[in-house]
Structure 1
Amino acid sequence: MKSQIFALLFAAAIIVGCRPASPANISEVTGTVTVDGKPADSATITFAPIPSGKSSYGRTDDAGHYHLVYTTDIEGALIGEHAVTIANEPAPGQATPAVMVPRQYGKAGKLTANVAPDQKNQIDFALTTKAK
């Protein structure tokens, strides 16, 4: 019995140990996107490091929630300042999202965000249809 328990614990340690660790320069990023107080569904959000670096991407769900991915194996974004773009223009044949993100937020320079080190970053975007 003890040998079976040991074998199970050993196997579990190997499986957990094989998962890729996030690099030290990446932090988790989640948040919510709203437009005039309503959740922006089916929106693509991009964090592009300033001045340069690999971008992270995410997509909002029906409640406007997103989480960023850096690669297929690593969630989050590079630590530091980012130019943020948010857009939900449907592709031909796709249903139009219930809440459309104004086109101005799909342009670089309109939004920025700072990803802090060693923590879970909650970065929300309360967008508006009114011109600023």
Structure 2
Amino acid sequence: MTVVTQGRIRFLFPLLCLISVGCSDTPSDQPDRGTVTGTVTMDEKPLAGVMVVFSPEEGRSSMGTTDDVGKYELVYVGDTKGAKIGTHKISIATAQSDSSEEEGGAGAAPFKETIPAKYNTKSTLTEEVKAGENVFDFQLTSN
């Protein structure tokens, strides 16, 4: 190898390393994730406006809110979609708005959860998030 070729390699190799790190689609401070979507129903009817929260054994939870037909997609942080790979405890609860503060302040009626506690505060639901696409549908019952 000539001195000129060796010089080019010494220059290009670090440049290629920097480019490959800069082009990664996963920020270095975030864990590996899988996308998570699904549908939530109660008594076979779609549930709109409920929060679906996936909480890993360690680390940040992911959350999504169902649309008018009960579909959700989890968001890890900001506009980064998905959930950390691994086992998660699932909580499904009615999304609370700030309207009680706007409509009555301190005199407003307290919030009443319409989804049974067995799906949120006393949830035993778990799922295993894997790399790639994950679809978890939840068929809840009101009793």
- Fold-level match, TM-score > 0.5? yes
Report the AA paired with residue 116 of structure 1: K
Instruction: Identify the match of residue 37 of structure 2 among 14, 30, 42.
Output: 30
Report the AA paired with residue 130 of structure 2: A
Residues of 1 paired with 2:24 and 2:80: CA distance? Answer: 8
Deviations 1:66-122 (A, max 9, x none): 00000113100000100000000544637xxxxx422331125421111012x2101
Q: What corresponds to 1:110 in structure 2?
A: 124
Q: Which moved more, 1:107-116 or 1:78-87?
A: 107-116
CA displacement at 1:129 relative to structure 2: 1.3
Instruction: Identify the match of residue 81 of structure 1 among 79, 83, 87.
Output: 87
Larger fraction in helix: 2
Q: What TM-score does the superposition give when structure 1 sets the normalisation length?
A: 0.70
Q: Does 1:44 align with 2:51?
A: yes
Q: Does 1:127 align with 2:136?
A: no
Report the AA paired with residue 29 of structure 1: V
Q: Give the percent of matched residue pairs that are identical in Structure 1 and Structure 2.
A: 39
Count of residue correspondences? 106
For the 8 Å contact 1:86–1:106, the answer to whether it is kept is: yes
Q: CA RMSD in A?
A: 2.3
Larger-gyration structure (1/2) = 2
CA displacement at 1:42 relative to structure 2: 0.4
Report the AA paired with residue 63 of structure 1: V
For the 8 Å contact 1:84–1:108, the answer to whether it is kept is: no
Residues of 2 paired with 1:126 and 1:49: CA distance? Answer: 21
CA displacement at 1:65 relative to structure 2: 0.2
For the 8 Å contact 1:77–1:115, the answer to whether it is kept is: yes
Change (3 A) 1:89 1:55: closer
| Unpaired runs of at least 5, structure 2 | 1-21, 101-113
Change (3 A) 1:53 1:129: same
Residues of 1 paired with 2:39 and 2:23: CA distance? Answer: 28
